[in-house]
């Protein structure tokens, strides 16, 4: 369990769901981990959980849509652990609305948290990776960053942007030995999915049942399913992988396109 020994990782949205499972897995694999999240209570609880397991961990309160917060998160990580090797751009929010029902404020919020954050965090992190002579960035897109989805106009726009930013960043930073990849989770059992069910007025169990039906593996994802794919892209198991969009969805997209 030493796949990330001596590595330093910064995980946005690491207080909950996929980010939290990834922080735990990275710590188990020997990385020093910084969690940057807007939710202080959950962030401190994730920090405690990982500390109790003997992991090296800090929590940094951060709104990833704000430039000054992103800069601080990167600088605090480097000041604490002496550098930065892995950036996991995972923080995200969803709005289940269409062009007629979404407000301009909501549109800006979704684009700020899901897209601008990837630009900002990467902007501050890449110079430190260049200093190390290597680095790896993993962005969280979605199945809806590849195909469209119902009543999720800003979310689909934001995840489509993340998918193609990943390819563009891989081209720009590959020559400095910085790999940039994305994971596209399918429906995964996290507080976000539960909040979507609430927002749509659907019972969570029914949502899970319906979503599972469309997947050859017959179930939705667990946060750990996604974390394991992120670990592959973060580790030296993927040294020749960049610009790649890894779908992790139990086969949900296999029959499309």
**Binding residues for ligand NAI, per CB under 6 A?**
12-13, 15-19, 37-39, 42, 62-65, 90-93, 113, 140, 142, 185, 187-188, 190-193
CB 70 within 8 A of CB 117: yes
- Gap between the Cα atoms of 62 and 140, Å rounded: 18
CB 24 → ligand NAI: shortest distance, Å?
13
Tell me whether residue 20 or residue 179 sits nearer to ligand NAI (CB atom). Answer: 20
Distance in Å, CB of 78 to ligand NAI, minimum = 19
Task: Give just the sign of the alpha carbon dihedral 55, 142, 87, 235.
Answer: positive
Report the distance separating Cα 149 and Cα 162, nearest Å. Answer: 16
Which residue among 57, 155, 188, 223 is the active-site one? 155
Smallest separation (angstroms) from ligand NAI to the CB of 20 = 7
Alpha-carbon span 77 to 23, nearest angstrom = 14
Of the candidates 19, 92, 18, 1, the one whose C-alpha atom is nearest the C-alpha of residue 10 is 19
d(CA 109, CA 116): 10
Nearer CB in complex with ligand NAI: 12/166: 12
Nearer to ligand NAI, 10 or 84 (CB): 10
Cβ distance to ligand NAI smaller for residue 13 or 135: 13
Which residue number, 4 or 193, has a Cβ lying nearer to ligand NAI? 193
User: Catalytic: 155?
Assistant: yes
Strand order in the sheet with 8-12: 56-61, 32-37, 8-12, 86-89, 135-140, 178-185, 245-248
Angstrom distance (rounded) from CA 137 to CA 177: 11
In three-state secondary structure terms, 213 is helix
d(CA 11, CA 22): 8
| Closest CB 180 distance from ligand NAI, rounded Å | 16
Strand partners, 9: 33, 86
- CB of residue 38 to ligand NAI, shortest distance in Å: 4
Active-site residues, by number, are 155
């Amino acid at each position: 369990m030493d796949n990330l020994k001596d590595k330093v990782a910064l995980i946005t949205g690491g207080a909950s769901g996929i980010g939290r499972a990834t922080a735990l897995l990275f710590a188990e694999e020997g990385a020093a981990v910084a969690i940057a999240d807007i939710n202080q209570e959950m962030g401190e609880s994730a920090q405690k959980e990982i500390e109790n397991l003997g992991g090296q961990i800090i929590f940094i309160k951060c709104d990833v849509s704000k430039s000054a917060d992103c800069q601080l998160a990167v600088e605090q990580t480097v000041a604490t652990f002496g550098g930065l090797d892995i950036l996991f751009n995972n923080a995200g929010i969803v709005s289940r609305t269409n062009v007629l029902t979404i407000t301009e404020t909501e549109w800006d919020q979704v684009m700020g948290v899901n897209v601008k954050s990837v630009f900002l965090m990467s902007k501050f992190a890449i110079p430190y990776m260049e200093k190390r002579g290597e680095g790896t960035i993993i962005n969280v897109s979605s199945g809806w960053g590849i195909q469209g989805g119902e009543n999720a106009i800003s979310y689909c726009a934001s995840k489509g942007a993340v998918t193609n930013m990943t390819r563009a960043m891989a081209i720009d930073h590959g020559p400095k030995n910085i790999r940039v990849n994305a994971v596209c989770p399918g429906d995964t059992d996290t507080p976000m999915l539960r909040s979507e069910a609430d927002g749509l007025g659907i019972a969570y169990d029914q949502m899970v049942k319906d979503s599972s039906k469309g997947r050859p593996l017959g179930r939705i994802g667990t946060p750990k399913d996604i974390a394991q794919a992120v670990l592959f892209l973060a580790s030296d198991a993927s040294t020749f992988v960049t610009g790649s969009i890894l779908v992790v969805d139990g086969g949900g997209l296999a029959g499309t396109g």
